[in-house]
Structure 1
């Protein structure tokens, strides 16, 4: 006779020390949702992606080991890596071979692999004092001691960074590396100038501190000049470069990539589970971008600019003269609003959400 153990069994003493009891919340999107950076649906090139995928499926290579017969290579689709190599040369000013690039399930996986490869519990890791929550969570899970670096409207302040590293090093807590989003930063929208990038790179070399460059928003510029990547300013291997196709095309595709010094690539990929990312997504992206990158940028850039202009105009209309300040980014998805002293925007967030407006309190 079977014994019913449903009421007596418990996992309470079996969980790992690294696990956390995280609520499984159902995402609630507001009608006007400024809490999540997702694109306007009308900018998604669905027809082009579907046609690119249809072309790939009909090709002879689809039936080979390089197509769909085998699991993807650990580095991901050869064709998309070759295209990525070409794109980095033309768009970002540095050259790496296809076999020096690893495709991942979004840029978040790239960042996570590098964090695992470089971070021990207790290591000091630097990042902008306001920065992407997803990376902060990954750093926390690694046990990193995260320290915020002072920023202004132009991003990281090099002099403050240099002083902070020197002080931490003098106290026996030399930073392991710097994580930064230099182009259209999340959440402030700031972009580091070429001059600041060169200064920060010089600081990194003097202190022998790697830079983890998250360039996932670089393709979303709609005015002004794109700044050179940290990686393009350096050939020593001190920069680990991460970027994404998800932001450029469609977040649901979840396809990013990274490139780094060979020893970093080997260690990071040692934490990767299984093979490379979805071949269907890779085929659709490569097939679409080879013929449509410029036209796609031309189609979504005016939409992003119009949304930025509407947001800034609304802030001026409703908060002008109140002491509030906000950024006016030249690209990306983020406008950073700073309220006057004493304003508690976190406390009214749920009430505002009930009125159909979502935002993230800093």
Structure 2
């Protein structure tokens, strides 16, 4: 009997099959992994024991027998934390717990996008957002950035152009606080200007703040949603996304959306997974209510120190006096982020950082080429994102030095 061709039965248009799993290399500067010694293992263990004793029998029922928007104790913590830390008064009924920010992206895209639609995103932005928009048959258009985020005048001109072309965007996607990948923080006055422009054009905003707890310079600004609610008598055109992946641990896969109740209920109707993992929600609520602010404060200090290490290494091995600068005709510029786990590098004109992927991999080095984190891949080709969150200081130094050797040799 001939072999059955299962692959021939698959639907068309699927992404390429995943490759075989391989261990994380020694010098992995990719992804959003965080500092493993900072994971509060002891506190999470205590919280898990406590919640299993109190709520364990409720695991027999989907959503613990409660609201499908998520465990009330966690939604209440999110609401209180946003009010205290992000100047954003929030009702627990405005919170939908999701399986990480990636599910949040899927839900918002499903609710707002149709094939052929346009999304305005920052010219350098989260690569996962770009790919997810494309999978829905929509496209992203880039808004120009400076050190404070989206440039209002450029956004206004872009929205004028899109309106004139008959393709007004379905929403604006922005990461205003600890932008990914640049690490910038948008000032309050600019936030107000961005909101005013969006209102004038009638465009909603999708505000992604997954890294905002990790801001280490200055006071955390009020969210766009907070400012919008204050100026619009409680009815906001902003959908807000947050996550525990960066503040606690990526593998927990717990995030949340905040929006006006009618929008949250529509998003909840699209969330057909029978609920985000209940045990994770229980543990997070128990732990976070007692320890979140202290834990995040310590994590910020750790990441800020690591950021100094990687910036020093980049300036040493890729800066003005380096072999790389001589080869490329100029130094590599590195951002000075205001928080988070990334630095964003800009190489001299004519460089394509993707050319270094294969030789770097042979040396056990991984990085994110800039094209994948840019709405316009040609604009991003001479850029590179490095995650410093998960590596020890010595590996950061040695990894950047090894990457410089790869670049100089290729």
TM-score (norm 1): 0.93
Structure 2: any 5+ residue segments left out of the alignment? 230-234, 321-329, 371-410
> Which residue is equivalent to 2:352?
344
User: Which range moved further: 206-215 or 76-85?
Assistant: 76-85
Structure 1: any 5+ residue segments left out of the alignment? none
Distance in 2 between the 1:361 and 1:21 partners? 19
Cα distance change, pair 285–100 in 1 and its aligned pair in 2 (3 A): same
Could you give the per-residue CA deviations for residues 212-242 of structure 1, whole angstroms, max 9, x where no partner exists? 0001001112232212110110123200001
> Which residue is equivalent to 1:20?
15
Alignment check: 8 A CA contact 1:83 1:290 kept? yes
Matched residue pairs, number? 353
Alignment check: 8 A CA contact 1:76 1:275 kept? no
Which residue of the other structure, out of 225, 229, 247, is the alignment partner of 1:231?
A: 225
Instruction: Give me the CA root mean square deviation.
Output: 1.6
TM superposition shift of 1:18: 5.1
Cα distance change, pair 234–140 in 1 and its aligned pair in 2 (3 A): same
TM superposition shift of 1:35: 1.3
SS of alignment partner, residue 241 of structure 2:
strand
1:52 aligns with 2:52: no
TM superposition shift of 1:331: 0.5
Cα distance change, pair 25–115 in 1 and its aligned pair in 2 (3 A): farther
Could you give the per-residue CA deviations for residues 33-67 of structure 1, whole angstroms, max 9, x where no partner exists? 111221111010011001111011112x433xxx3
Distance in 1 between the 2:188 and 2:13 partners? 40
Q: How does 1:179-218 map to 2 (within 5 A)?
A: 179-218=173-212
1:164 aligns with 2:158: yes
1:86 aligns with 2:80: yes
> Which residue is equivalent to 2:34?
39
Alignment check: 8 A CA contact 2:32 2:250 kept? no
Alignment check: 8 A CA contact 1:153 1:327 kept? no
Cα distance change, pair 213–39 in 1 and its aligned pair in 2 (3 A): same
> Which residue is equivalent to 1:269?
268
TM-score (norm 2): 0.82
Could you give the per-residue CA deviations for residues 228-263 of structure 1, whole angstroms, max 9, x where no partner exists? 110110123200001001111010100000011233
Runs of 4+ in 1 over 4 A off after TM superposition: none
Cα distance change, pair 188–25 in 1 and its aligned pair in 2 (3 A): farther
> Which residue is equivalent to 1:301?
300
